[in-house]
Amino acid sequence: MLQPMPSVNGELLAVSSEDWIARDREVVSPAIYRYTEIAFARGEGVFLYDFEGRRYYDMAAGIATMNVGHCHPRVVNAIADQARTLIHAAAHVGYMAPYVEMAETLRSLLPPPLDRGKALLVNSGSEAVESAIKLARAVTGRSMVLAFIDGFHGRPMGALAATGSSSGYRRHLAGLLTGVEHVPYPNCGRCAFGHGPRTPDQCCGQWRNFIQLTLDKLVHPDDLAAILVEPIAGEGGYLIPPDDFLPTLRAICDRTGALLIADEVQTGLGRTGKWFAVEHSGVVPDIVAMGKAIGGGLPLGAIVARAELMDQWWPGAHGSTFGGNPVACRAGLETIAIIREEGLMDNAVRVGRRLMQHFQAARAHLPIIGDVRGRGLMVAVDLVDEGGQPLATDRLKQVIKLLGKRGVVVTKCGPSALRLAPALILTEAQADEVATLILDALAELS
């Protein structure tokens, strides 16, 4: 339900949402796609507010970033305190306490031996992915990276070479990073090998044969530097792989001497009910790429790798002017403390399950709802047409815009799934209300 904003500076309201949108279109590249026609004035908890004071449930959370909600008082105070002390000095110039503390904290969240590993801080998830690839190639002396169709790792030219979730990201581009080969991610709902739809525990297993075929015919194991994988495919559709997927990749890396890189940019920091999604499988990667939530809403990315790998990287081999910025590090450290102290990982499991139950139950009377899947507060609701095929793009856009009018901000993932990735502070009562808003809109469209 749309509600007036409780309190907003009068000066802030002097310019309307419509004015800001018009000004944006005059100066901002159209490459920045917008899911909604909403201009955000402020955020608080799980809500966003526009310049007219209308309130929206934020089920995007800055694309799975604002894990403790908007403007959490503790995060705001941490940012302000650090900004009064030291805003920037650059890690290349000298040593800074927040950088060290963030590296210590991130590795402490990981299982052995990564809990004794070493970190490097950058500005974003895609930069972290490129750093991980660079490290893997440097320390193995090998050139090839195995990545996955349906995987998303970022849009810069290096990370984009590994991204396989949409040809639209590669349109009119050539000369991406060479040495990346793609194989299908296990997508049991829409199997690349023509089987299904099935659940992950019914997987046909053909992805294993395809990987082996690739190693036999296209990528010699002696040239394989790394396998880069999302433990749960994010942009590709919040795909939950079979239980043996990550263990199989770990075994391939152990057999060939390649490194396993886990892209935990979207899945990390409690979103799936664990600090990192690899924990659900018991698999320990060699390198973990992080981003999004670790900065508490400010730009921050990181890689943590086994110490013996990091120690092979010579001084000056990599770097970042703003990576590990003190203010971003303090925001991230406070975010991690809040997640731990407020039990937000348990909350993600409990509330995520409740959200999924709403949509699973509604499938009986709303044929527009297809598969419903997720882990923790990482939930996808597939929308399908009368034939059970992914909803056409124009209709999906119509759904998302209608939800905005109903007071719910969402994005998509996969061909036509609503991506629900709210702050981990979402309560069960709020989950009930937002599910009702979404289901009412779907009923109207159906």
- One-letter amino acid at 295 equals G
Is the pLDDT at 174 greater than 90? The verdict is no
**Of 44-48, 78-82, 316-320, the least confident:** 316-320
Tell me how long the chain is. Answer: 446
User: Does residue 32 have a pLDDT over 80?
Assistant: yes
Task: Provide CATH 3.40.640.10 ranges for the chain.
Answer: 77-341
Beta bridge partners of 303: 120, 289
* Confidence tier at 2 by pLDDT (50, 70, 90): very low
Q: pLDDT grade, residue 189 (50/70/90)?
A: confident
CA distance 219 to 198: 30
Which residue type does 251 have? Answer: A
pLDDT of residue 293: 98
Cβ-based neighbours of 258, under 8 Å, separated by 6 or more: 136, 140, 142, 146, 221, 224, 225, 226, 227, 252
Instruction: Check pLDDT > 90 for residue 202.
Output: no
Hunting for tokens 């991980």 — which residue is that? Answer: 132
pLDDT at 3: 45
Asked if residue 92 has pLDDT above 90, the reply is yes
Computed over every residue of the chain, the mean pLDDT equals 94
Percent of the chain's residues with pLDDT above 90: 91
For range 339-356, the mean pLDDT: 98
Distances (CA, A) of 326 to 184, 193, 295, 390: 39, 48, 10, 44
Task: Answer yes or no: is pLDDT of 327 > 90.
Answer: yes
pLDDT, residue 376, reads: 98
| pLDDT tens digits along 353-382 | 999 999 999 999 999 999 999 999 999 999
Are 309 and 287 a contacting pair, CB within 8 Å? Answer: yes
pLDDT at position 1, please? 41
Nearest Cα to Cα of residue 190 among 174, 170, 204, 179: 204
Residues 442 and 399 sit within 8 Å (Cβ to Cβ): yes
pLDDT at position 180 over 50: yes
List CB contacts of 134: < 8 A, sequence separation 6 or more.
318
Average pLDDT over residues 44-65: 97
Q: Which of 100-114, 123-137, 157-171 has the lowest mean pLDDT?
A: 157-171
* Residues 6+ away with beta carbon under 8 Å from 31: none
Work out the average pLDDT over 57-76: 98
pLDDT tens-digit series, residues 261-302 = 999 999 999 999 999 999 999 999 999 999 999 999 999 999
Contacts of 222 (CB under 8 A, 6+ apart): 142, 256
Give start-end residues of each CATH 3.90.1150.10 domain in the chain.
Answer: 12-68+343-445
Six token digits for residue 299: 């730009």
The count of C-alpha atoms lying within 13 angstroms of the C-alpha of 308, restricted to the half-sphere facing its C-beta, is 4
CATH architecture of 12-68+343-445: Alpha-Beta Complex (3.90)
Name 121's Cβ contacts closer than 8 Å, sequence gap at least 6.
Answer: 91, 99, 102, 103, 300, 301, 302, 320, 323, 324, 329
pLDDT score, position 195: 86
Residue 411 amino acid letter: T
Cα(38)–Cα(17) distance, integer angstroms: 7
- DSSP codes of every residue in 277-293: GGGGTT---SEEEE-GG
- Give which of 167, 263, 179 is closest to 223, Cα–Cα: 179
Confidence of residue 201 (pLDDT cuts 50, 70, 90): confident
pLDDT single digits (tens) 398-424? 999 999 999 999 999 999 999 999 999
Least confident piece of the model among 1-10, 146-155, 300-309, 353-362: 1-10
Read off the pLDDT band of 5 (50, 70, 90). Answer: very low
Write out pLDDT tens, residues 110-152: 999 999 999 999 999 999 999 999 999 999 999 999 999 999 9
Residue of 205 and 9 predicted with greater confidence: 205
Is residue 342 scored above 80 in pLDDT? yes
- Confidence check: pLDDT of 214 > 50: yes
pLDDT higher than 80, residue 42: yes
Which pLDDT score is estimated for 198?
A: 84
pLDDT bucket at 6, cuts 50 / 70 / 90:
very low
Secondary structure E strands in 27-175? 40-44, 47-50, 55-58, 118-122, 144-149
Are the C-beta atoms of 162 and 153 separated by less than 8 Å?
yes
Mean pLDDT value of segment 17-45: 96
Class of domain 77-341: alpha beta
CA 9 to chain centre: 33
Sign of CA dihedral 16, 9, 83, 40: negative
H-assigned helices in 218-306:
245-256
